[in-house]
Chain A
Amino acid sequence: MDPALIHELKALLGPANVLSTREDLMLYEFDGSVEKGRPDVVVFPHTTEDVARIVKLANRFAVPIVGRGAGTGLSGGALARGGGVMLVFARMNRILELDLENCRAVVQPGVVNLEITRAVEHAGLYFAPDPSSQKSCTIGGNVAENSGGPHTLASGLTTNHVTALELVLPDAEIVRVGNRHGDSTGYDLCGLLVGSEGTLALVTEITVKLTRKAELVKTLLAVFDAVGDASRTVAEITARGITPAACEMLDGWTLAVIENYLRAGFPRDSAAVLLLEVEGLREAAESQAAAIDEICRANHAREVRTARDAQDRDLLWKGRKNALGAMGRLAPSNYVLDGVIPRSKLPEALERIHEIGTSAGFRIGNIFHAGDGNLHPIILFDPRDKEQFARAIATAEQIIRMCVSLGGSLTGEHGVGMEKNELMTLLFSDADFDLMRRIHDAFNPDSSLNPGKIFPVSKGCGEIRVGRHSKTAETRA
Chain B
Amino acid sequence: MQKHTSTLGEVPVYEDFSLCTHCGLCLNHCPTYRLWQLEADSPRGRIRQMLLVEEGELPIADGFVRHIDRCLDCRSCETACPSAVNYGKLVEHARARIENEYRRPWMARVMRNFVYRRLLPYPERIAMAARLLRFYQASGLQVLARASGILRMLRLAEREQLLPRIDRRFFFDQVGKTFPAKGPRRARVAFFAGCVANVTFTALNEATIRVLTANGCEVTVPDGQFCCGALAAHAGVRDSARELARRNLAAFTSGEFDAVVTNAAGCGSTLKEYHHLFRHEEPEFAGALTLAEKSRDVTEFLAGLGISAQLREVTARVTYQDSCHLLHGQKIREAPRQLLRAIPGVELVELPYAEICCGSAGVYNVTETRASMELLAEKMRHAQSTRAQIIATANPGCLLQLRAGAELRKTNQEVLHVVEMLDRALSGSAAT
A interface list, Cβ under 8 A from B: 19, 21, 23-24, 26-28, 30-32, 44, 70-72, 88, 90-91, 93, 110, 112, 114-115, 118, 133, 135-137, 261, 321-322, 324-325, 328-334, 363, 380, 382-384
Contacts and interface: CB of A to CB of B under 8 A. Distances in A.
B200 interface: no
A19 B63 CA distance: 12
Contacts of B49: 23, 27
B15 interface: yes
Interface stretch (B25-33, B237-245, B408-416): B25-33
B48 A26 contact: yes
Nearest to B33: A90
Which of B4, B26, B29, B38 has the most CB atoms of chain A within a 10 A radius of its CB? B38
Given A23-B64, A324-B83, A31 B24 contact: yes
Main secondary structure of the interface of B (DSSP, over half): loop
Interface in B95-139: none
A366 to B, nearest CB: 16
B81 interface: yes
B23 interface: yes
B82 interface: yes
Interface string B355-383: 00000000000000000000000000000
A23 B38 CA distance: 13
A208 to B, nearest CB: 18
Which of B18, B39, B52 has the most CB atoms of chain A within a 10 A radius of its CB? B39
Contact of B1 (A23, A30, A325, A331): A331
A135 B29 contact: yes
Given A23-B63, A325-B81, A332-B15, A70 B21 contact: no
B307 interface: no
B58 to A, nearest CB: 6
Nearest to B3: A330
Interface residues of B, number: 35
Given A136-B26, A333-B18, A384-B14, 19 more contacts: A23-B58, A24-B39, A24-B63, A26-B58, A30-B22, A44-B37, A71-B39, A90-B37, A115-B28, A136-B25, A261-B84, A325-B82, A325-B83, A325-B84, A328-B19, A328-B82, A329-B83, A332-B2, A382-B2
A28 B39 contact: yes
B80 interface: yes
A21 B14 contact: no
Interface in B206-247: none
Interface in B61-90: 63-64, 80-84
Contacts of A384: 14
Contacts of B1: 330-331, 363, 380
A98 B310 CA distance: 47
Contact of B37 (A23, A91, A324, A383): A91
Contact of B45 (A27, A114, A324, A380): A27
A382 B27 CA distance: 25
A21 B63 contact: yes
Q: Which 6 A-B pairs have the closest CB atoms?
A: A325-B82, A90-B37, A332-B18, A72-B24, A27-B39, A325-B83
19 contacts: A23-B49, A23-B64, A26-B57, A27-B39, A28-B39, A31-B22, A70-B27, A71-B39, A133-B24, A133-B25, A321-B82, A324-B82, A325-B82, A325-B84, A328-B21, A328-B82, A329-B4, A333-B21, A382-B2
B40 interface: yes
Which of A23, A32, A44, A114 has the most CB atoms of chain B within a 10 A radius of its CB? A23
B24 A329 contact: no
Interface string B47-61: 011001000011000
B37 A334 contact: no
Contacts of A322: 82
